[in-house]
Amino acid sequence: MNFKHLSFPVAAFALALASSSPLRADILTNGLVAFYPFNGNFNDESGNGNHGTPNNVGFAVDRFGRTNRAVSFAGNSSSFVKVTSTNLDLPPDFTVSVWINYTAGAGTEGPRIISTSGYEITTDSVFVTNRHINFDNTLASGSGFTSDSSSNGIVAGVWSHVVAVRVGNESRLYINGNLAGSVSTSQPPDYSRGFVPEIGGNSGNDSDNYAGLIDDLRIYNRALPANEVAQLYVVESVPRVDLVKAVKPVFFYLTVGTNYQLQISGDFNTWTNQGAVFTATNSNMIYPQYWDVDNWNSLYFRLQSVP
């Protein structure tokens, strides 16, 4: 008896334990263009295929103490992640959310956290101790750019949540869930220079290199309102509840008194025993336990009769 089960995707979601109002699951995914959790790779986990290509970067411990869950930049012209996709070149409205932990006195000039032809998130010069965060929008040729700078600086060696929002004719900056600056601008970002988006460096040249850690970079094609920015900060900074995908098979048409062994496979060729042999006491039975599933979309089941 073979079962091909779990051929459909199931969305996982997170709820903030300390949030006064629960985070809706769609805040994490609604309008998400790219998501880089940097969990041992540079993949875009939004499902849109905007994967990064690393150069001279490594992995480090994230803000929760987990190894290989954040990316580390050396702060020189050879340390960056390129994203060869125009999908990050967004017109208003859009949002960029990222966690940073910069290294004091390291990097070059005005370090870029993320840089495209039309917008950048940067820190102050490497020589500044408490660096302000800047959200720059490049305007049409000859019109310069607008820069929204945070009202207060953030210290080195500490994880901080930075959110840049371009909404209508305004640019907004949030630090750790709170509005830290805003500036009016009537022109949309200009992407005509065609620079390849870069994380940790300047997309237009080899300078402005970021030194330190970056994690959980999210880019949305919509402007997150203030309440969603605050909720996103909470859910990404405190312990949370995640749903783990699990299964519990149901059996039909069993022969009462017969011994059975449940087996599982990820490729329909190699089968592994799951649990202990059980004796059918009814023609229809429910397996007595759940177990976690990693390969959710390619898991096969079969039931073998045994002596």
Structure tokens that stand for 282 in this block: 């009814």
pLDDT, position 282: 93
Q: Tell me which residues of the chain have a pLDDT lower than 70.
A: 1-25, 140-144, 239-244, 294-298
Nearest to 160 by CA among 108, 113, 206, 93: 113
pLDDT, position 145: 78
Q: Is the dihedral of CA 62, 65, 68, 69 positive or negative?
A: negative
pLDDT, position 138: 84
Strands (E), 40-191: 53-55, 57-60, 70-74, 80-82, 94-102, 112-115, 119-123, 133-138, 145-149, 160-167, 170-175, 178-184
Q: Which residues contact 54 (CB under 8 A, 6 or more apart)?
A: 42, 71, 80, 81
Burial classification of residue 15, based on how many CB atoms lie within 10 Å of its CB (0-12 exposed, 13-18 middle, 19 or more buried) = middle
pLDDT, position 42: 97
Structure tokens that stand for 307 in this block: 């002596």
